Structure 1
Amino acid sequence: MNLRGKQKRFLRARANHLQPLFAVGKEGLTANWLAQLDGALDRRELIKVNILQNADVTTDEVKDFIEGQTDIQVVQTIGRVLALFKVSANKDMRHLSDQVKKI
């Protein structure tokens, strides 16, 4: 699902109050980390990821790694925090994506 401007604005507003659930640290980006991130997005559809100060990767590298290997979309980047969105594979968990489609 490609997001339009109004849809991204809606998701950014929803992500504003969320705390980061995942962090990128000194171990960097791995396939296992990405699989856990994908699983969490199947349950929640919208999460935040924090890039720690001791991480060897930049924000752009994390964004390219996530978007290049999955269908996860980066909704917003603020400093070292990314807001991520993905439509859930489980139809029972698609509350947020159903609202986004109506916009």
Structure 2
Amino acid sequence: MIKHVVMWEFKDFAEGNEKEKNIELAAEKLLSLKDLVEEIKFLEVGKNINQSEAAYELVLITEFESLADLDQYQTHPEHEKVKDFIGKTAAKRVLVDYEK
């Protein structure tokens, strides 16, 4: 099993929206992928509640059967749409992929 974890910080204003609205939209778009991308075996999205300056604002945790399935997800047209929106609204991104 492959775990794919991504965290973002968002711009104060982008795509005509304040930060909080873009975080909400990004979360909704990410959650929709569970029903649109067959390769996803588990998907969870969380908005930060920690006040630490080290904390990121949104996290995505996904699981895939294999690296090949993760690669399929990465290039899936629905994922590309979400990636495009987040790319325009996020200020910073970190990720880790690991085998479980």
Give TM-score scaled by structure 1 length: 0.38
* More helix as a share of residues: 1
Structure with more contact order per residue of length (Cα contacts < 8 Å, sep ≥ 6): 2
